[in-house]
Structure 1
Amino acid sequence: MPQQHPFYLLWSGAINLGDTPGVFNNAQFAGLLVQIPVTLSFIPENDLPVRFLLKTSDVEIFNDKKHPVFWDWEPGTALPSPVGYVDDTDLIPEQPEFHELSVPHSAAAVGPHTITLQVNSEVSAGLRDDFVLECIEAHETIGAKIGW
């Protein structure tokens, strides 16, 4: 019997993050940071975190320098604590390059938010491994859509 996948698709496409344009000719180049608007229409009443999955391809990490993912970061302000990372470990066996985001319930009110992916700035230019964001999924316990 197949295992359940308690996430649903919010967005799919191909966004190339990194410092080398043109590495992936099937993806739009975004550079070192991309911010995606997300609206939550409902969240569970319990105190469990709100969860998302990111699917990527071609991620490699140098010296354990993972790429952080932030919730509700506003440009011009200090970066908050990451809600997840993009790295080269397998979250789901035989399903590489899924990365879980866990947003604290207290930060996940109904309304507009952002998910920000940043290429790790501690890695030297040229070594910032380019990768592709392919999809974003939301856990079935929340209502979410891309955009505001």
Structure 2
Amino acid sequence: MANHPYYLVWSGSLNMGDTPGVFTDAQFVGLILQIPITITYLSDETAPAQFLLTTTEVEIFNQKTHPVYWDWTPGTALPTPVGHIDDTEFVPGKPEFHQLSIPRTELTLGKHWLTILVNAEIPAGLRDDFILKRIEAHNSIGAKIGW
């Protein structure tokens, strides 16, 4: 796609949720996933930096989306989410794209955390299980998985 301004940072198959073994083609990770990300380049733009997550099998119960956080430290209050994983269809026939928007004031070169949290307001057993397939970064930043 010529107009796709994102590049691949990670691809795989991680099962988020509360039911191990639902997806035989994915590694079960549970209700929370923290991914270390290193920012290696920042353009001079002032607009928020963007990441694009691709998932499969997302279903939302009672409008309870799954929040995604930037630089959250366990044991501290949750910050404002930088995006959500839900079942909204942004691209017809492709409901599995989720855009994250990181304010430039929160984006520096170096080590960061991207945290995906399965919504805990949904009773156990009813939590949506889904698969994280890809993480892409906008070409206005340089990003890699790990430190």
Aligned to 2:41: 42
Supply the distance in 1 between the matched residues of 2:130 and 2:63 (Cα, whole angstroms). 16
Aligned to 1:128: 127
Supply the distance in 2 between the matched residues of 1:117 and 1:98 (Cα, whole angstroms). 14
Shift in Å, 1:45: 1.6
Aligned to 1:55: 54
SS at match of 1:73: coil
Shift in Å, 1:35: 0.4
Q: Which string of whole-angstrom CA distances, capped at 9 and with x for unpartnered residues, describes residues 39-96 of structure 1?
A: 0011122211010000000000000000000000111111111000000012223322
Give ranges in structure 1 of 5+ residues lacking alignment. none
Aligned to 2:136: 137
Supply the distance in 2 between the matched residues of 1:41 and 1:3 (Cα, whole angstroms). 24
Supply the distance in 2 between the matched residues of 1:104 and 1:130 (Cα, whole angstroms). 29
Q: TM-score, normalised by structure 2?
A: 0.97
**Alpha carbon RMSD of aligned pairs, Å?**
1.0
Aligned to 1:14: 13
Q: TM-score, normalised by structure 1?
A: 0.96
Give ranges in structure 2 of 5+ residues lacking alignment. none
Supply the distance in 2 between the matched residues of 1:94 and 1:109 (Cα, whole angstroms). 35
Q: Which string of whole-angstrom CA distances, capped at 9 and with x for unpartnered residues, describes residues 19-54 of structure 1?
A: 000000110101000000110011122211010000
- Moved beyond 3 Å, runs of 4+: none
Supply the distance in 2 between the matched residues of 1:3 and 1:90 (Cα, whole angstroms). 22
Shift in Å, 1:3: 5.1
Supply the distance in 1 between the matched residues of 2:12 and 2:126 (Cα, whole angstroms). 24
Identity of aligned residues (%): 59
Partners of 2:45 and 2:140 within 8 A in 1? no
Supply the distance in 1 between the matched residues of 2:14 and 2:73 (Cα, whole angstroms). 21
